[in-house]
């Protein structure tokens, strides 16, 4: 049964790995490194739903993430509200 689930969820595994890689890259461009990001492969293997654990981070890093998100939202509003 698990091999069937494995075949069915192959695209999901690739997708979650890709999005985590993108997140790490974007955060790095913004000067942020969250050292504990990981994919819960076991949960996905059992359920077909892959979860991303963002892990622990220092307050300084989280403030930077919030700052980047706010700037991105401001840019998005300026770009798409016109």
Phi, psi of 40 (to 5 degrees): -85, 85
Average pLDDT of the chain, as a whole number: 90
Q: What is the pLDDT of residue 73?
A: 93
For 20-49, the pLDDT digits (tens) are 999 999 999 999 999 999 999 999 888 889
Cβ atoms 27, 33 nearer than 8 A: yes
Tell me the pLDDT band of 2, cut-offs 50, 70 and 90: low
Residue 1 has pLDDT above 50, yes or no: no
Q: What is the pLDDT of residue 46?
A: 85
């Amino acid at each position: 049964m698990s091999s069937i689930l494995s075949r069915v969820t192959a695209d999901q595994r690739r997708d979650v790995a890709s999005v985590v890689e993108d997140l790490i890259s974007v955060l790095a461009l913004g000067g942020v490194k969250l050292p504990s990001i990981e994919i819960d492969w076991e949960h996905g293997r059992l359920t077909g739903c892959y979860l991303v654990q963002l892990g622990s981070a220092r307050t300084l890093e989280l403030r930077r993430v919030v700052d980047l998100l706010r700037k991105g939202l401001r840019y998005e509003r300026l770009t798409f509200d016109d």
